[in-house]
Amino acid sequence: MQKLVPFFKCFSTSSASRNKTECRSGTIVEKFPVFSYNELKAATQQFRPSNNIGKGHIGSVYKGWLRDGSVVAVKVLSVEFESMRGEREFISEIAALCDIRHENLVGLRGCCVDGAKRLLVYDYMPNNSLAKTFLGEEKNRIKFRWKLRKEISIGVAKGLAYLHEEIKPHIVHRDIKPRNILLDENFKPKVGDFGLSKLFRDSNISHLSTGVAGTLGYIAPEYALSGHLTRKSDVYSFGVLLMEIVTGCRAIGFDLQFGEQFLVHKVWEMYKANNLLEMVDKVLEGDFPEEEALVFLKIGLLCVQETTRLRPNMSSVVKMLMNNEIDINGEEEISRPGVIANLKDVKLGHNNNNNVSSSAISPSNASSMSPQPR
């Protein structure tokens, strides 16, 4: 890809012809769509509230219609996120990510930089996210029969394996959860927001020291405690997601008698009691292959093991899911899971890149798995 040069503001050609983007400096950037703010404002009908299809801690997403008739999702990044990247760094990262294509990744179509404003343009996913379409009331989950749950699980695993192992530099997502798993018109899963993650610039680097970002219930304990980010951190989050897909339960539930209940703990306790089948979503009414469901839950437990090195990589997870078998020599080798159950367990306020902002993994964010308002 042609190297980007510094510029102050770009304006794009029409949506229908976007092979070249001309900057005020006169530079032509090949195959990199940079939208104007006014174009995206018009596409979303002035960011009309009725076009808002999602909101998270990094920004709001609007449905939009470009001039060529295509439907897109426009993410308006929050002020807090905007301040994290300068214009040059932001454009360079997005330019590199625009070429990343996989059937289980949401397509990133371009961006907009207008002063302090930062916007991203994605392919539109008609069936929204797993958080909105799957989790929640039984009437939502009942539409997801076992075959579809299996396909979604494998699809997400394939998308992550591609990010972790097939592209250079490797990408660690950092925030795998139902809200970031989008569904197209055929309910094919697409991993979203990977473009906002940190890239491994050197394949020999095993981890990144970074401010911790994530959601309580999904965040790997070693990442929360140390700030050391590895691909195994994503594996942990995928394990929690896999358990949610099989059980229909949220990562963190609430019981009037016992208070907050972590799904990872519940599945582990049922596994030790040799009663794992009881965790499969009751809305399936027994209409699922029992051995396959058990294998999926055990794979989830393999992914969330407290000892990082014991977790499989994502390509191994894909093989296990597709072959319906777990890659261990004996079930006793599944060790206990790790969980960050309380913010007190996380070291806050240090100036050594190991800090975690209280807004990054808070109980309020933990509740973000619930369906979002339309």
Residue numbers annotated as active site: 175
Would you tell me how many other CB atoms lie within 10 Å of the CB of residue 134? 25
Q: Is 326 helix (H, G, I), strand (E, B) or coil?
A: coil
Within a 13 Å sphere around the CA of 17, how many CA atoms are in the beta-carbon half? 3
How many whole angstroms separate alpha carbon 99 and alpha carbon 109? 9
Here the tokens at position 355 are 């800090």
- Listed residue (206, 232, 238, 239) closest to 307, CA to CA: 232
- Listed residue (105, 98, 56, 99) closest to 77, CA to CA: 56
The string of DSSP codes covering 348-363 is -S-SSS--B-TTTS-H
Q: Is 29 helix (H, G, I), strand (E, B) or coil?
A: strand
Task: Give me the amino acid identity at 342.
Answer: N
Here the tokens at position 150 are 């299996």
Here the tokens at position 51 are 């076009």
Question: Do the Cβ atoms of 230 and 172 come closer than 8 Å?
Answer: yes
How many whole angstroms separate alpha carbon 181 and alpha carbon 132? 10
Question: Do the Cβ atoms of 57 and 78 come closer than 8 Å?
Answer: yes
- Listed residue (243, 101, 76) closest to 176, CA to CA: 243
How many whole angstroms separate alpha carbon 107 and alpha carbon 170? 17
How many whole angstroms separate alpha carbon 100 and alpha carbon 363? 33
Residue 248 backbone phi and psi in degrees, to 5: 75, 5
How many whole angstroms separate alpha carbon 281 and alpha carbon 340? 25
How many whole angstroms separate alpha carbon 327 and alpha carbon 156? 19
How many whole angstroms separate alpha carbon 302 and alpha carbon 317? 9
